[in-house]
Amino acid sequence: DNEFLWAHGSDATLAYHGNNRAAFSLDLAAAGAAVAEEEVTDPTDPSVEVEEDSVNVPDAIQDPSGGQDCTVNFCDNELTTGFLQKYRINVPDGQAPETCDGCTIDMELIYDGEAWVSIGFSLNGRMIGSEAVIGIPGSTTLKYNLNGYTDNLVQPMPQE
């Protein structure tokens, strides 16, 4: 499985997302792309004790594509009410979707409102150490390093 993070703000200014975030797994090797949602504990909430190494295990696996072939058509994954992820898995010629060696993914995020949106790529389902693409209304969409929970630690990556 591949670990992803999503978040969105409450307006067009990049700032703390509050509870508007979660992690999910997307199995790119399964062309139907099963998704597992997991609840993410807010490490900045003083009323909650968080172990940095803890990763929540999802209770159920869902297939948001409804059995569609996500290598042919864009499939939908409703991240939360009013926030939709559309994705298509690109399988290189000569490769099998089951192994997905060299596969890439195209994504589109659709938010019902005006706020920044992001999709992150994680090795462990946690924010710190991950990378994200963040779109801010009226700005250029950029890649970011997620080095911490404060605004100054979420930094744009150098341009390639």
Q: Are strands 35-38 and 75-80 parallel, antiparallel or unpaired?
A: unpaired
Give CA–CA dist 36/29, Å, rounded: 14
Q: What is the DSSP string of 54-83?
A: --PPPS-EE-TTTT--TTTS-EEEEEETTE
Query: pLDDT-derived band of residue 80, with 50, 70 and 90 as boundaries?
Result: very high
Averaged pLDDT, 104-123: 94
Amino acid 52: pLDDT: 36
pLDDT at 36: 41
For the chain, percent of residues with pLDDT exceeding 70: 74
Predicted confidence (pLDDT) at residue 108 exceeds the cutoff of 90: yes
Is it the case that residue 59 has pLDDT exceeding 50?
no
Which of 59-68, 91-100, 114-123 is predicted most confidently? 114-123
Query: How far are the Cα atoms of 11, 13, 62, 127, 157 from residue 120, in angstroms, in the given order?
Result: 19, 18, 20, 8, 13
- What was the pLDDT predicted at 49? 40
pLDDT at 27 over 80: no
- Report the half-sphere exposure of 56 (CA within 13 A, side-chain side): 16
